[in-house]
Amino acid sequence: MLHLTQAHKNAIRGIRKIKYFVARRKFQQARKPYDVRDVIEQYSQGHLNMMVRIKELQRRLDQTLGKPGSHLSIGVKCIPIGTRLYRMEQQINLIDNKVDSILQILNIFMEKGKPSLLKRTQSIEESV
């Protein structure tokens, strides 16, 4: 068995008392009701930070895509990406329609030209 000296016992008692007083003080602080002003101030600061972030995001979106309706009155120098994408989609749709019409015309020519093509291939085969 371990025997402690009186000095050791006093040191342990002192440490335990300090721990008790610290825990009691923390408990009393936890029991205190919230000060309404502090709560409102923290809420205001959080709300302000959130608004600053939202404004920054909106500014970056406007810089990238352009403000709504701005593509109507924009100069040639700074056309936003949204407007450029819209114009590109229109051009792609136009090209797609042209390709479709060309394919239709080619199909019509192929249907009309089939008998003559068949005759040509048959005559070539006979000559060989």
> pLDDT category, 80, cuts 50, 70, 90?
confident
The 10s digit of each residue's pLDDT in 35-48 is: 788 888 889 999 99
Q: Which amino acid is at 2?
A: L
So what's the pLDDT on residue 39?
82
User: Which has more pLDDT, 96 or 69?
Assistant: 96
The 10s digit of each residue's pLDDT in 15-69 is: 999 999 999 999 988 877 777 888 888 899 999 999 999 999 988 888 777 676 6
Residue 23 tokens, joined: 């825990």
Residues with Cβ within 8 Å of 66's Cβ and at least 6 positions away in sequence, in order, are 74, 79, 80, 81, 82, 83
Residue 59 tokens, joined: 């500014």
> pLDDT category, 84, cuts 50, 70, 90?
confident
Q: How far is CA 51 from CA 20, 43, 63, 70, in A?
A: 44, 12, 18, 24
Residue 68 tokens, joined: 């709504």
Please say whether the beta carbons of 83 and 71 come within 8 A.
yes
Q: Average pLDDT, whole number, for the chain? A: 82
Residue 16 tokens, joined: 């335990």
Query: For the chain, what are the domain ranges?
Result: 8-66, 79-113
Per DSSP, the residues of 66-117 read --TTGGGS--SS---HHHHHHHHHHHHHHHHHHHHHHHHHHHHHHHHHHHHH
